[in-house]
Each structure stands twice: as C-alpha cells, then as structure tokens.
Chains A and B, each alone.
Chain A
C-alpha cells in the first residue's frame, strides 16, 4: 500500500522536485506538492477535505505567492495547529504532520510552542544524500502506517491497547512507562504518537538504538564484519510495535535477559569489559568477525554502557560528565553524558550544550589536571 503525503510549500514545484523524487525513490510513499492556498479560509476548507495519509509543511509560506497569487499570511506552524484542532474536534481524521524547514528559518521564526504539533522535524540541509532520503522515507512510512494503526486501535481496555501498540507483553513493560502510556490511550492519536516518538523511540532507555546496542555489547560496528549476523540473531528482541519501520530499536530488557541466559556464563553484562564481552559472544555464537570497541581518549574503563554525546562513541558513565538539562527526563530514559575528552575540548558542543551545574567543578579540575600534564610532557 502506498501512503500519500501532501506537501505544502510556497516554493515552486521545480525547485523541490529533486527532493521529492529522492524521498519517493524507495517506494511506499507518494508526495504531492501544493503551494499554499494564499487565503486562510480557503486553506482551512481545503484541509477539511484532505484525503491524504499525512501532511508535510514548510515553515515559511510567506515568501512566494500562493495558489491564488496572494502571499500567505500564515506559516506552516499555523496550519499544523489548525489541523490538530480539527482532528480533536473530529472534523478530520488524524494523520502525521512533518515540518520541513531550512535551519535559518527554524532558528529565526519557529516558536517552540509550535513543536508539539509536529511528529517530525526535518532540516532541508540534512537531506543531501541517499541515506538521508531513505531514513526519511522510512519514517514517513512508519508515521503514516502507525497513525492508521492507532486510529483503528480498540481503546476499551487500556492495558491491552498498550500491549498491542508496543508489540510487547504488558507485564514485562516497565511499570512507570506502561502506567503513563495507559493514561494516553484515550487521548487523540497525535498525542499518543508524540508520546511514543518523543519519549520512547527518540530517547535511549527501554528501547535502545543500534549504536547503543553495539556499545553495550562492547562492539565496534565499523570493524565488525559479523555485526549484521549478530543483529539477525537478536532480531527476536527488536522493537515490533507501532512506528517500527522508521526506528530500528531493541528492547534492553530482552537483550539483558538473553545475555544472562545464553552468553554471560554468570557474568553480568554491564560490569564486564568490552574485550571479555566480545570474547564471550564470539565463543558462544561462533562469530569471528566481532571486534571490541576502543576507549575514548582519557577514559579509563571499557565497561561501555552509554554513548558520549560529543564524540558519539562508547563510554562508561564513570568516565563521563552529566549533561545539563535532563531534569525532566522520564525515569525509564537513560541519562546522557559527555566524555572528559569531549567536555574539555568542547567537541560537538552544539549537541550537548553544557555539563550539569554539579559537574562544572569537576570539569574545571579536569581541565587543570590535563593542562598540567601537557606542560609536564
């Protein structure tokens, strides 16, 4: 089945044709471009009659003339809000909304309160290679299919509904998460979708990404030829709930259980060194092409458990500094750290912004120690 997205952008079709065909290339998604109606009343009516499975909106619609020759006086964010309101009032069906924008416009013109209306935000600058197109295509597919699924979900029994959405046994789900998820079952679809995407799929925690999976198994993906084979073995533990097509994730609960039962020989995963983890995996699974990950410079431990937000490489939290701004994290979400090396040298600082206030003193001490060491050498 093909999912159709309407793409409202004040740019001319010829300017975005390349982007559209890039996204459509893998199949499953059809994107139809339209300029904004220009007049808000007409735009509103047009939306009320939409028969698409999703809408992609450019942020700034005011730069070029719309369909009726007028310049729209509304932004993509305004359309998004209108759509969500109409959906809540049941004037229209629920479908995913994707924001498409250049970084400049996002920084200058996007009010943060508008964030909630969108399921996904894509920066135009990031769509510059086939892999980026494919990643986006899969997410668009996942969102459209997932919204459909949620729209048709039987919501009478919240715990049953949560189980179906997650594709995972209710009892095994983390208690606070499932309680929270249950409170969402009778909310509008877009609220459920936002909760799942933002708090479960986009954050490491109950579900982990491929990168974190490799780190926790102590593996260097790029150097390990048998990584795809290992992933295949772990396929039973991958996320098969709503939006699965767009986000490759694994249930940490299952990975840990599998390690304890089949691999660890009595050694728990976290306190075991990366080299030992890989030795055990190679021995038990007969996979020779697995290579242990290396420590980041200045890190002392190879009991990797997290990813350094600066260097994007495996790290033991003991070697990390707590990143600021995590006060509102849910208890089932993993916390973020930055390695000493990345913190001292401000590597990729735009990704982590700052260390927590309680870590500043430590960072200062580290800077002093390491600069003294340089002088000593």
Chain B
C-alpha cells in the first residue's frame, strides 16, 4: 500500500473514514459501531495482529422486486463483525485472517402474515479442512446466521440448511459495508458514496490486505508458487474441489 508498513493505525483510520463518509452522505444515521470498532482496534491490536469488533451497524435497504412473501417490507440491513487479522506483508502473502469470529448480515423487516417480525441473515465464516463434516471452502458465505432459530419462530415452507457453504473471499468491516451497499441499495442510491475517491481508496486498502493474498494464492495453483511465500494457506482448504491429485 504505497510503501506504508501496515499497522493498526491505518486500519483504525479507515474505519473512522468510512464512518465519516457514511454519515456525510446520509446513508447511515448511527455510525457509532464503527467508532467503537476503531477504539477497540487501537486498544486490542498488537504488533503482530490487528483486531476489532462491533455490533449492529444499521444500513438502509431498498425494496426490491421478487421479495417474498409478497408485502414483506425490509427495514434495515445490519452488519456485525468480530475478527483478528494479519498485517499485509509484501514478503509473505499470508492468509489474511487469523480468526473470523463473527461476520453477520441481518435483514430486519415487516411481514404481512401472522407475524409482524420478518428476518433474514447470512454469515461469512472461516474454518479449515480439519473441522469439517461436510467439505466446504475455508472462507464461505451461508444463508442463515448464528442461532437464526432465536430470531425466527415461523419458517413458512422454507427449509433452512447450513449448506451449501459458498466460497467467498474474506471480508472485513470495510468490504462488508461495500458488499451490503452494492447488494441492498440501488446504484443510484449509493453511487455518490461508492464513486467517491476517498471511499474507493479505503476499499483498495482492504482489498490489498484481504483479497490480494487470497486470490494470489489461488492463482498460484496454476502459475506455481515461485519465490512467493503464502503462509497459513492450504489450497485444499480454500477450494476443496481443487483437491484433484490422483
């Protein structure tokens, strides 16, 4: 990242910048959780790892066609994140996250049937090959959050399973916010923000920190490792289907 040595101050500064940008463009009324995250990042991170956590960052959500049940109205999409990561290091494209304790995207809204409380959630998870009963990629996105049964009493005709777990590159708070804005708001609503150069710069920092190692590592499966080091990665965790050694 332009010759800066990655450190907790840069990460914390990006969280605050995102908070200011979200607040200024009017897309988020209460950016408190991001300030909380910044404080925790500064107090809990060490020289070797960065970390932060926050709960309940509320972002707006647009109604969209094909929403079911008909008449359901989504109100807010809420992001909660808790993670520990490794600093970006040009000498070693290491697995960027040490622990992804929580990455929940929840939608709260109104239903039009028996129950007024509508809910949906997705979560991003990280686990390695060793822990798995059902083989799936190390970084994966699943429908249904942790303890979704605490939030929903009535499932209609929907069966919710923990599978499939779909491969998705790791995300931090910054990439999570970008993911939500782009998936849940129309382009018109978010473009002033997402096309803002300061916004794009923060996204770049996170992409460099989290996606560059992930994708470089996957690419190395075909291009070969060369002299590049990719510690804490295993191709068969990241993409189990590549386990095709005969």
Contact = CB atoms under 8 A, between A and B. Distances in A.
The A contact surface, by secondary structure, is loop
Contacts of A318: 56, 58, 76, 78, 108
A369 B116 contact: yes
Interface string B68-94: 000001011010101000000000000
A6 B126 CA distance: 66
A275 to B, nearest CB: 12
Given A268-B82, A317-B30, A335-B29, A358 B60 contact: yes
Contact of A358 (B29, B31, B116): B29
A317 B58 contact: yes
A243 interface: no
Interface string A302-324: 01010000000000111000100
Contacts of B56: 270, 305, 316-318
Contacts of A369: 110, 112, 116
Most A C-beta atoms less than 10 A away, residue of B32, B58, B117, B151: B32
A203 to B, nearest CB: 12
B26 to A, nearest CB: 7
Nearest to B73: A365
Given A268-B55, A270-B55, A270-B56, A373 B116 contact: yes
Nearest to B30: A335
Interface in B92-148: 102, 108, 110, 112, 116-117
A168 B38 CA distance: 19
Given A318-B78, A322-B29, A332 B55 contact: no
A366 B110 contact: yes
B169 interface: no
A2 to B, nearest CB: 41
B177 interface: no
Given A271-B80, A365-B73, A369-B116, A332 B35 contact: yes
Contacts of B42: 175
A268 B53 contact: yes
Given A271-B55, A365-B73, A356 B108 contact: no
Nearest to B39: A174
A286 interface: no
A370 interface: yes
Contacts of A317: 30, 56, 58
Contacts of B19: 331
B82 A370 contact: no
B110 A358 contact: no
Interface in A326-370: 326, 331-332, 334-335, 356, 358, 362, 365-366, 369-370
Which A-B residue pairs are the 10 nearest by beta carbons?
A270-B55, A335-B30, A322-B29, A300-B117, A271-B55, A369-B110, A331-B35, A365-B73, A362-B75, A369-B116
28 contacts: A174-B35, A174-B39, A175-B42, A253-B39, A268-B53, A268-B55, A270-B55, A271-B55, A300-B117, A300-B151, A316-B56, A318-B76, A318-B78, A322-B30, A326-B29, A331-B19, A331-B31, A332-B35, A335-B29, A335-B30, A335-B32, A358-B60, A362-B75, A365-B73, A365-B75, A369-B110, A369-B116, A370-B116
Given A300-B151, A326-B29, 8 more contacts: A175-B38, A175-B39, A253-B39, A270-B56, A331-B35, A365-B73, A366-B110, A369-B116
